[in-house]
Structure 1
Amino acid sequence: MSKTLPPSALRRVHHVALNVHSMEASRHFYGTILGLRELQGSDIPATLIDLVAAGKVANFVTPDGTVIDLFYEPDLSPPNPDPQRQFTRANHLAFDIAPELFDEAVAVLRDNGVPIDHGPVSRPTGRGIYCYDPDGFMVEIRCDPQ
């Protein structure tokens, strides 16, 4: 029998990362039209400061604290008109987990033969592993530093 994570192990969605063709249009949509707060100054994650300054990333936060990261991809092709191919704009979905459960999550992914894209990786913002769901959509499981 394969190991599984307990129902409460994944605590919340940490962030959603989207590839965008036009940073200007996307910032207008998320910030002005939808009214999400754009992270500025010290609110920008340390690992993204240079990318934000270069105009390659913008970060917005929902009222519940979920971060929407926009990654500028100027050569991005138009979205697929087939709704079955809806993930053409998304980069990955990230779930937050307690640091003490991170290694167990990695073991569960491997035990279940989940395809791993890369990781585990360690960064100043914590640890993460990137894998694919059954449809090929990238999912990250990450934790804050201990």
Structure 2
Amino acid sequence: MVTTPHSLNSVLIPGNLRKVHHIALNVKDMQASRHFYGNILGLHELTGDEVPATLVELVTAGKVANFVTPDGTILDLFWTPDLTPPNPDPEQSFTRAYHLAFDIDPRLFELALAVLQENEMAIAHGPVTRPTGRGVYFYDPDGLMIEIRCDPQ
């Protein structure tokens, strides 16, 4: 048995994990995904010196695109042109990920719905109103469910 100065129980205690560092998604159509995350959702795409040094070669080759969410989490898109889900029906969950949720100011929720409609995004569910707030669910170009949600007003 290997001993270390810290057991896992002492390292992985509440408060030691600081934040989500990044989320990585495989995407079939990089251009459609870049348009979706950059133009429709309005996330900032990292370019030039903003791209992490470890990813410059992949970004230059068009195999990776990096976006940053408003809270600073990095969203990495990895181009996987042969990607096919086991079930092409996006209503059937085909990964362990259920959805990616973005929070929005409640005053902007209706405007977000209008952007989705203007871009002819197929709404999967909603908008729904719950005690936890309002939400609308739709799919990215690869069938991953996306939620835009807000706290109750």
Quote the Cα distance in structure 1 between the aligned partners of 2:98 and 2:49.
Answer: 28
Instruction: List alignment gaps of at least 5 residues for structure 2.
Output: 1-7, 100-153
Q: Deviations over 1:80-106 (max 9, x none)?
A: 3432x333799xxxxxxxxxxxxxxxx
Structure 1 residues 71, 11: closer, same or farther in 2, change over 3 A?
same
The residue identity in structure 1 corresponding to 2:50 is D
Quote the Cα distance in structure 1 between the aligned partners of 2:70 and 2:47.
Answer: 16
Aligned residues: 88
Quote the Cα distance in structure 2 between the aligned partners of 1:25 and 1:89.
Answer: 21
Q: Give the structure, 1 or 2, with the largest relative contact order (CA under 8 Å, sep 6 or more).
A: 1
Is residue 70 of structure 1 aligned with residue 73 of structure 2?
no
Aligned position for 1:13: 20
The residue identity in structure 2 corresponding to 1:67 is I
Quote the Cα distance in structure 1 between the aligned partners of 2:74 and 2:53.
Answer: 14
The RMSD of aligned alpha carbons is: 2.3
Structure 1 residues 48, 76: closer, same or farther in 2, change over 3 A?
same
Which has a greater percent of strand?
Answer: 1
Q: TM-score scaled to structure 1, two decimals? A: 0.55
Q: Secondary structure at the match of 1:51?
A: helix
Structure 1 residues 89, 55: closer, same or farther in 2, change over 3 A?
farther
- Residue from 79, 82, 86 that aligns with 2:95: 86
Instruction: List alignment gaps of at least 5 residues for structure 1.
Output: 91-146
The residue identity in structure 2 corresponding to 1:70 is L
Which is greater in Rg?
2
User: Percent of aligned positions with the same letter in both sequences?
Assistant: 61
The residue identity in structure 1 corresponding to 2:83 is L
